[in-house]
Amino acid sequence: MVVILDRVSFRINGTPILTDVSAVVPTGAVTGLLGPNGAGKSTLLRLIAGLETPDAGGVELDGAPVGGARTRAGSGLSRRETARRVALLEQNAAPSVDLTVREVVLLGRIPHRSRVLGSFGGDDDHRVAEESLAMVGGTDLADRAWRTLSGGEQQRAQIARALAQRPSLLLLDEPNNHLDVSAQLGLLGQVRGLCAGAASSSGSGPRSDDRAGLTAIMALHDLNLAAAFCDQILLLHHGRLVAAGTPDEVLAPSAIAEVYGVDCDVIPHPRGGHPVIVFSPSAFIPGFPPSRETEVTQQGRGSR
Amino acid sequence: MNRVELQQEERTAAQRRRVAGRARYLAWLALSVLSLLLTAGLAVTIGPADVSLTDVAASLAAHLGLPGAAEVAPLTDSIVWQLRLPRVLTAAAVGAGLALSGAVMQSVTRNPLADPYLLGLSSGASLGAVCVIILGVAVALPAAAFLGALAALVATLSIARVGGTITPGRAVLSGLAIAQLGGAATSFIIFWAAKGDSYREILNWLLGSLAGSSWSSVVISGTALVLVGAGIVLSATRLDAFTFGDTAAATLGINVNRTRWILLGAVALMTGAMVAVSGAIGFVGLILPHLVRGLSGPGHRRLLPLTVVLGALFLIVADTLARTVFDPRELPVGIITALIGVPVFIVLIKSRKAAAWS
């Protein structure tokens, strides 16, 4: 799915949260949404999912504007239509529900069910739920109680629930929160695999034929994971898009110093070649040599 | 056996388990409906005057104009048709309505302690009803009770709302305050208007009583149960969507605010109708949904119908005890529901499942 953000602006009680954000996310790409706390990452994801309406500008999914219920133009996507195309995993979803994993995954079928008498948990829904669980390698989790899962297993089950919506676009808000290193790598690898799989074998798998190609946008804090797993990076700062491009293009020490206010060096990964960001505590430990590039930026800032 | 065959095997096994689960649920539902019918019939036979099940059947057949109805003594017939049957039917409708209201409130507010009594709806409805009955305010009784319940709901939720969010703890605390205020106002009005046995009347409104049931109470509570209850049962899928909270519901295509307010409005309407005929009966809405979840699982398509049936059954039993244990004196039925409800509630709190409540 192609996602187009067209000069999106959003305010809460007069405070600008996002200002004039424009970007294009191509089909099958894994896009990392980076920026410090409060940069507007979660809000942007909510806008793309149609949970909020921009004050100015708009979001288009494969050419259709999100938010048909509000525009009343008839051309936009309603909540339900959006829910069949876009799945959002929010941060820290409720950990304590009395359901089995299978029941949790089945919740993802709700947008596809008739509102009134749709067969809840019909064989079709169960088949999709099982396929979704299999796609995240969670077939053996199906009958476990949700509350007994580890953090990593819960996140995998959540992704399976999202996949049961049969989305073309997967939005993840800091999916790595509270996960250990191997679970973090596993999760992002899974997301990458889902997108790549969709790109190579479009049409097969649980997505319907007319909307082939899973695309993912995820808000991340870890720059190194973003550099390793994302095709494209969008860097937000104070609600504005300050850089967009491949990890190589975006993750330069000057940009990181500008946005995060930290000193770092960027070196190529010894095996993968993608950028690796090495943070330096030069601002906090006297005598620690600062990197040359950020020294320049910080001097420039000081003289302003 | 290769991988594909193994997967196929697993899939059919899972399917078989599903079919078995559905059969088990349907068996529970059928058993509950049967017990409800039997209990209702037996409850009509219990009381100071001797009435047999055959008398009940004969009286019913005669009034419904069924062919081949046996003769019943006129006195027995009027005890069955004018006194006990309306009371049992009212108890069934009120129990079902309160239990269903509790289930909806617990899901929509994601608060396991939500129930019409605890969040003040019942006492608001009592106040509305008492205004009509004692002060002679010119509004239809159920309408006044509905307005009272709605006002209490809005008051509770706006007190609990701090900075745009409502936590379960705050909702219960503000509900408690509203319930106390509604109860005090109800008591004051009855006391002030003091005619005859005002203390008994106060108790009946605050603790609930089905002593005044007539065919008009059957009509009021039954209509509310059928119309509002049907709408709620058909919203089961939407209620499921609230499992992981508001944002998750919204991403599943639900209009969260509209759905929540429509459902809570429906609950206020139903509570109003039930309290108008019975006063504020506690614990039915709180306990029943939790007990039923143990049988049906948390999915609302299964939870809601069973809650209706068992809620009706529970209140028939409680009311029959209320009118027979201290015969010829009658207890407010709220005392019985509390006596049964509190121990059950304690067991629930102590059980493993309560870990999810914190």
B80: domain CATH number? Answer: 1.10.3470.10
Residue B57 has pLDDT above 90, yes or no: no
pLDDT given for residue B108 in this prediction: 87
pLDDT given for residue A210 in this prediction: 37
Mean pLDDT across B246-275:
89
**Would you state the structure tokens that stand for residue A276, as one six-digit string?**
């690796």
B80 Cβ contact partners less than 8 Å away, ≥ 6 residues apart: B44, B51, B55, B56, B59, B60, B72
pLDDT given for residue A121 in this prediction: 54
Under the banding of pLDDT at 50, 70 and 90, the label for residue A251 is very high
Whether residue A93 and residue B248 make contact (CB cut-off 8 A), yes or no, is yes
pLDDT given for residue A237 in this prediction: 95
The amino acid occupying position A233 is: I
Rounded-to-integer distance, Cα B343 and Cα B331, Å: 19
Q: Is B243 on the interface with A (CB under 8 A)?
A: yes
Rounded-to-integer distance, Cα A276 and Cα A265, Å: 8
pLDDT given for residue B137 in this prediction: 74
pLDDT of A85-134, one tens digit each?
Answer: 999 998 866 567 778 899 899 999 988 877 665 545 566 888 889 889 98
Whether residue B253 and residue A83 make contact (CB cut-off 8 A), yes or no, is yes
pLDDT given for residue A117 in this prediction: 57
Q: How many residues does chain A have?
A: 304
Q: For a pLDDT cut of 90, what percent of chain A falls above it?
A: 45
- Which of B238, B240, B244 is nearest residue A94 as measured by Cβ atoms? B244
Q: Which of A28-37, B38-47, B189-198 has the lowest mean pLDDT?
A: B189-198
Q: Tell me whether residue B45 is in a domain.
A: yes
Residue B94 has pLDDT above 50, yes or no: yes
Residue B241 has pLDDT above 80, yes or no: yes
pLDDT given for residue B228 in this prediction: 95
Of residues B137 and B53, more confidence is placed in B53
What is the count of structural domains for chain B? 1
The topology under which CATH files domain A3-251 is Rossmann fold (3.40.50)
Whether residue B252 and residue A90 make contact (CB cut-off 8 A), yes or no, is no
Rounded-to-integer distance, Cα B92 and Cα B97, Å: 8
Of residues B232 and B110, more confidence is placed in B232
Residue B41 has pLDDT above 90, yes or no: yes
Under the banding of pLDDT at 50, 70 and 90, the label for residue B207 is confident
pLDDT of B5-39, one tens digit each?
Answer: 777 777 777 778 888 888 999 999 999 999 999 99
Q: SS in 3 state form for B156-174? A: HHHHHEECCEECHHHHHHH
Mean pLDDT across B287-302:
89
pLDDT given for residue A301 in this prediction: 44
Q: Is B293 on the interface with A (CB under 8 A)?
A: yes
Rounded-to-integer distance, Cα B140 and Cα B145, Å: 9
Mean pLDDT across B210-214:
90
**Tokens 């100071």 label which residue?**
B48
Which residues of chain A are in CATH 3.40.50.300 domains?
3-251
- Which of B245, B252, B253 is nearest residue A94 as measured by Cβ atoms? B245
Highest mean pLDDT among A149-163, A196-210, A236-250: A236-250
Under the banding of pLDDT at 50, 70 and 90, the label for residue A75 is low
Hey, CA dihedral for A14, A16, A20, A25, is it positive or negative? negative
Question: What value does the mean pLDDT of chain B take?
Answer: 87
Question: What value does the mean pLDDT of chain A take?
Answer: 83
Residue B198 has pLDDT above 80, yes or no: no
In the β-sheet with A215-219, what is the strand arrangement from edge to edge?
A: A86-89, A169-173, A215-219, A30-34, A232-237, A240-245
Residue B328: cis peptide before it, omega within 30 degrees of 0: yes
Pair type for strands A64-65 and A56-61: antiparallel
B146 Cβ contact partners less than 8 Å away, ≥ 6 residues apart: B125, B128, B268, B269, B272, B273
pLDDT given for residue A37 in this prediction: 92
Q: Which letter does DSSP use for residue B84 in this model?
A: I
Whether residue B355 and residue A121 make contact (CB cut-off 8 A), yes or no, is no
Q: For a pLDDT cut of 90, what percent of chain B falls above it?
A: 40
Under the banding of pLDDT at 50, 70 and 90, the label for residue A69 is very low
Of residues A293 and B144, more confidence is placed in B144
Whether residue A120 and residue B241 make contact (CB cut-off 8 A), yes or no, is no
Q: For a pLDDT cut of 70, what percent of chain B falls above it?
A: 95
Whether residue B245 and residue A98 make contact (CB cut-off 8 A), yes or no, is no
Q: For a pLDDT cut of 70, what percent of chain A falls above it?
A: 83
Terminal-residue alpha carbon distance, chain A: 44
Q: Give chain B positions within 8 Å (CB) of A120.
A: 236-237, 240, 299, 301
pLDDT given for residue B16 in this prediction: 84
Mean pLDDT across A180-199:
82
Phi, psi of B347 (to 5 degrees): -60, -40
Q: Tell me whether residue B358 is in a domain.
A: no
Kindly list the distances between the CA atom of residue A270 and the CA atoms of A228, A273, B172, in Å, as whole numbers in the listed order: 12, 6, 58
Mean pLDDT across B131-147:
82
Kindly list the distances between the CA atom of residue A274 and the CA atoms of A180, A258, A264, B147, in Å, as whole numbers in the listed order: 22, 21, 16, 65
Q: Is B290 on the interface with A (CB under 8 A)?
A: no
What is the residue range of B157's domain? 3-353
Highest mean pLDDT among A233-247, B14-28, B99-113: A233-247
